[in-house]
Amino acid sequence: MRCQTGRMTSTELSRLWPAAGLRVAAGDLELRWIDDDLLLGLADLAARGVHDDGVMPFRVPWSRGTPEQVARRVLAFHWDARAKVGHGELVLELAVMHAGTPVGVQGISGSEWSILREVETGSWLGRAYQGQGIGARMRALMLHLAFEGLGAHDVTSTAFIDNAASNAVSQRVGYEPDGVERTVRDDEPATWRRYRMTRVRWEQVREANSALIGAPVEITGIEPLLVQLDG
Ligand SMILES: CC(C)(COP(=O)(O)OP(=O)(O)OC[C@H]1O[C@@H](n2cnc3c(N)ncnc32)[C@H](O)[C@@H]1OP(=O)(O)O)[C@@H](O)C(=O)NCCC(=O)NCCS
């Protein structure tokens, strides 16, 4: 069934694509599927800047360029990511809503999900929303979804060694160090720090992360998504 505007809502879409109905809510914070309306808002947010000009926190430098270039890369990335649910693959790039406002993106991605049950987290916030504790809470919320909702075995994360905020978030929510990796950034050598949270580790830090999230977590739409992932 179509809504009156002729566009399909996430709720309608979730009938055939259950990932579109996923929501993870806790107090004033929510992670939700990114429909086109939300995507446009997030693209505009990213176009207003995600970090200082002189740094590059991402492996793929999508956040550098004119506002139009950055916004178009956000659109293209998410249109591509949306399809990657099922057939062993699990990519969920979810909008971070704070008090009803889209403030950034918190994602997980993993290949061979049905065998490995392992995903890597990735995230960004619009500059106006950074440094207020949202980044740590949204990561804790995503860990809750991964371990409690999706049945993850391991969750990993990586950050360039000069990305103090991202490294601090991984340490705050309890990931364990998992080595380093040398890579190339802007034609120069650079080093990633790897982090890993095993299920055993999650059991140890779950309570602390519940306190960090600060409100009971409600996951909507997980059962049909689990069926979609096994399909
Ligand atoms: C990384 C990011 C998501 C973190 O979210 P955030 O809301 O800014 O972080 P928080 O306010 O929750 O802070 C989390 C921790 O980082 C520390 N921190 C935050 N900003 C910092 C900064 N600029 N320098 C040093 N530490 C910082 C906080 O003190 C806090 O540490 P604590 O838990 O030990 O007290 C956000 O800063 C961001 O989007 N940055 C640009 C994009 C990016 O780097 N993405 C990740 C790529 S791997």
Q: Mark residue 169 as left, alpha or beta (left: phi above 0; alpha: psi -120 to 50; beta: remaining).
A: alpha
Using DSSP, state whether 83 is helix, strand or coil: coil
Q: Within 10 Å of residue 44's Cβ, how many Cβ atoms?
A: 15
pLDDT of amino acid 5: 59
Nearest-10 Cα torsion for 72, 185, 51, 70: -10
Distances 72 to 23, 83, 94, 125, 151 between C-alpha atoms, Å? 25, 18, 18, 17, 33
Ligand 1 environment, Cβ below 6 A: 50-51, 57-58, 123-125, 130-136, 159, 163-166, 168-169, 172
Say if residues 106 and 139 touch (Cβ distance below 8 Å). yes
Please name the residues in contact with 149: beta carbons below 8 A apart, sequence gap of 6 or more.
24, 219, 222
Using DSSP, state whether 182 is helix, strand or coil: strand
- Residue 223's Cβ-side half-sphere holds a number of Cα atoms within 13 Å equal to 0
DSSP 8-state code for residue 59: S
Using the mean position of ligand 1's atoms as its centre, give its distance from the Cα of residue 66 in Å.
24
pLDDT of amino acid 8: 73
If you take atom 44 of ligand 1, which residue's CA is the nearest one?
57
Q: Mark residue 144 as left, alpha or beta (left: phi above 0; alpha: psi -120 to 50; beta: remaining).
A: alpha
Rounded Cα distance between 72 and 36, Å, is: 13
Bridge partners (DSSP) of residue 40 are: none
pLDDT of amino acid 230: 84
How much is the mean pLDDT over the chain?
95
Residue 24 is inside which H or E element, if any? strand 23-26
pLDDT per residue as tens digits for the range 87-129: 899 999 999 999 999 999 999 999 999 999 999 999 999 999 9
The mean pLDDT values, 10 residues at a time, for the chain of 231 residues are 62 93 98 97 98 94 97 98 94 98 98 96 98 98 98 98 98 98 95 98 98 98 94 74
Distance of CA 26 to the CA centre of its chain: 16
Say if residues 29 and 137 touch (Cβ distance below 8 Å). yes
Q: Domains of the chain (ranges plus CATH)?
A: 23-230 (3.40.630.30)
pLDDT of amino acid 158: 98
Closest ligand 1 atom to Cα of 126:
39
Short-list 126, 148, 211, CA closest to 174: 211
Using the mean position of ligand 1's atoms as its centre, give its distance from the Cα of residue 132 in Å.
8
pLDDT of amino acid 6: 61
If you take atom 45 of ligand 1, which residue's CA is the nearest one?
124
